């Protein structure tokens, strides 16, 4: 039983962080129908920012989160004004190739500055700590903190989007850019803010992840794929969709645990002998594929 409960808890915790990673992607897509292939690289920059801030100043990696958020916001806004704004004038394929190019640029810059070695945080307030919640389930403090902060970030973003004038202006821009402009909304600035928020949420997710996940310049690809799967499942542009789909994807990545549980309760030795861990992300991509066929607009999608 502890295997099942342990896998569910682990899946939900990592799912919340995955959801936060996907949040920025869905906001940007919701605002301007542009798919940011460099999203995972933004995450990588968030991870490196937290790592470098923590290592150079000696502060706890958790305290580096606001810095990572600011860096992400600045990165998002500058990418918009310096690059994306011009891409939006071109055809869809230019936008795709443009953000793909941005991905390559950021990844190779990281390679140039940080090298290809894995870097990990080995010290910190929460590193190597855990809570025993009974039934043999131990929750690592780093993952719990990441999940809790991910929930707060989600709540903050949801409130911003739904309860503030800025959020309403952004939603108006997303729904009808021309109409919003006639109403006096500076749509250009709204787009930049969307990129800023998108960048900030994903770099915050990176700063949370770096407490328990090693960083290399190539770490972004895995997360870009996962974020795409989450956004496709939750519905392009939907904030609650990203939240629930993130949880679902987190649970899917823990399916080797469920497999072991079934093997245990059925006493099946052939099932116990087979290791499912190499396929833990296969389920995610399979679900992505199925959603794209069965319900292309996703579970909570409002853009067809």
- 252's CB contacts (< 8 A; 6+ apart) are 11, 283, 284, 287
Binding of residue 261 to another protein (CB under 8 A): yes
CA atoms within 13 A on the CB side of 100: 6
Query: Rule CB under 8 A: is residue 8 a binding residue for another protein?
Result: no
Is residue 260 part of the contact set for another protein (CB under 8 A)?
A: yes
> Which stretch in 92-100, 126-134, 198-206, 292-300 sits in contact with another protein by CB under 8 A?
126-134
Binders of another protein among 162-221, rule CB under 8 A? 212-216, 218-219
Q: What CA–CA distances, in Å, run from 3 to 209, 249, 279? A: 24, 18, 18
Q: Which is nearer to another protein, 172 or 276 (CB)?
A: 276
Tell me if residue 134 falls in helix, strand or coil. coil
Near another protein by CB under 8 A: residue from 91, 278, 293, 294: 278
Binding residue for another protein, selected from 57, 162, 164, 277, defined by CB under 8 A: 277
Q: Tell me: does residue 257 bind another protein (CB under 8 A).
A: yes
Cβ atoms of residues 207 and 20 within 8 Å: no
Q: CB under 8 Å to 300, separation ≥6 — which residues?
A: 234, 235, 238, 240, 241, 244, 245
Please answer whether residues 220 and 232 qualify as being in contact, where contact means their C-beta atoms are separated by less than 8 angstroms: no
Distinct helix (H) and strand (E) counts, the chain: 14, 2
Our CB check for another protein shows the closer of 23 and 215 to be 215
DSSP state of 35: -
The window from 29-37, 57-65, 122-130, 173-181 that contacts another protein (CB under 8 A) reads 122-130
CB of 151 to another protein, least distance (A): 20
276 binding another protein? (CB under 8 A): yes
CA-closest candidate to residue 99, choices 40, 54, 167: 40
Q: Tell me 140's DSSP state.
A: E
Q: How many residues bind another protein (CB under 8 A)?
A: 39
According to the binding rule CB under 8 A, does residue 267 interact with another protein?
Answer: no
Could you say whether residue 15 binds another protein (CB under 8 A)?
A: no
- Measured between alpha carbons, how far is residue 288 from residues 274, 282, 293, 299 in Å? 24, 10, 9, 11
Give the Cα separation of 144 and 18 in Å (integer): 13
Q: How far is the CB of 3 from another protein (least distance, A)?
A: 5
Q: Is 58 in the site for another protein (CB under 8 A)?
A: no
130 scored as a contact of another protein (CB under 8 A):
yes
Chain residues binding another protein by CB under 8 A are 3, 6-7, 10, 14, 115-118, 120, 122, 128, 130, 132, 138, 140, 212-216, 218-219, 222, 253-254, 256-257, 260-261, 263-264, 272-273, 275-278, 280
């Amino acid at each position: 039983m502890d295997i099942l409960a342990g896998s569910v808890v682990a899946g939900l915790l990592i799912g919340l962080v995955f959801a936060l990673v996907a949040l920025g992607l869905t906001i940007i897509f919701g605002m301007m129908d542009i798919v940011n292939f460099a999203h995972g690289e933004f995450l990588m920059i968030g991870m490196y920012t937290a790592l470098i801030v923590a290592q150079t100043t000696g502060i706890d990696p958790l305290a580096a989160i606001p810095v990572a958020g600011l860096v992400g916001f600045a990165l998002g806004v500058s990418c918009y004004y310096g690059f994306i704004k011009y891409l939006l004038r071109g055809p869809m394929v230019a936008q795709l190739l443009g953000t793909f190019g941005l991905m390559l640029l950021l990844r190779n810059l990281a390679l140039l500055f940080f090298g290809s070695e894995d870097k990990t945080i080995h010290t910190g307030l929460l590193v190597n700590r855990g809570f025993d919640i009974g039934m043999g389930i131990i929750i690592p403090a780093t993952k719990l903190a990441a999940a809790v902060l991910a929930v707060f970030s989600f709540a903050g973003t949801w409130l911003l989007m739904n309860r503030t004038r800025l959020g309403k202006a952004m939603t108006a821009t997303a729904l009808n850019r021309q109409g919003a402009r006639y109403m006096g909304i500076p749509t250009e600035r709204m787009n930049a803010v969307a990129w800023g928020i998108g960048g900030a949420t994903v770099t915050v997710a990176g700063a949370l992840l770096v407490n328990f996940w090693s960083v290399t310049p190539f770490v972004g690809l895995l997360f870009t794929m996962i974020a795409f799967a989450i956004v496709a499942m939750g519905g392009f542009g939907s904030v609650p969709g990203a939240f629930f789909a993130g949880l679902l994807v987190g649970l899917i990545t823990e399916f080797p645990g469920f497999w072991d549980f079934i093997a245990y309760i059925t006493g099946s030795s052939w099932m116990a002998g087979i290791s499912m861990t190499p396929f833990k992300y296969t389920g995610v991509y399979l679900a992505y594929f199925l959603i794209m066929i069965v319900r292309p607009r996703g579970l909570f999608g409002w853009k067809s």
